[in-house]
Amino acid sequence: MKDKESITITEKIVASENLMHKKQILRKYTEEIFKIDKAFFNLMDDIIVNEDQKGEIVEAMKEETKKLTTYNRNLLDHIDKRVNKIVQGLDEQVDEIKSQRMTITYENTHLPKYV
């Protein structure tokens, strides 16, 4: 007697590869932005503070520069955290694609049992 049977399995058709090294490529750009921001804010500080400028406008500029510095650093930190999550998600998605569900259908031939 022949019976058709099926089995479904998930098989990895391509080896897994860790893509976490991609973070460094993206982080390089945020580090460059940080360096440019730092150079700009140092220049602002040199112009405003080191030349002994005084007055309400100068104080307001100092305050705004500090706020902007904090905002930019927080934004870059947030971007770095998002990069980590995005690369991890990409890594998981790529790993998922490398697996394939397969259904194998075969005929099961039962040999008669002799008792």
pLDDT at 102: 86
Residue whose token pair is 């140092």: 42
Neighbouring C-beta atoms of residue 87, cutoff 10 Å: 19
Q: What confidence score (pLDDT) does residue 1 get?
A: 56
Query: What is the C-alpha to C-alpha distance for residues 48 and 33, in angstroms, rounded to an integer?
Result: 22
Query: What's residue 17's pLDDT?
Result: 75
29/31 Cα distance (integer angstroms): 5
Angstrom distances, CA of residue 35 to CA of 38, 40, 51, 82: 5, 9, 23, 20
pLDDT in tens, the chain (115 residues): 567 888 888 888 777 777 778 788 888 888 898 899 889 888 887 877 676 777 888 788 888 888 988 999 999 999 989 988 988 888 888 888 888 888 888 887 766 666 5
Provide Rg for the chain, Cα atoms: 31
The domain limits of the chain are 2-107
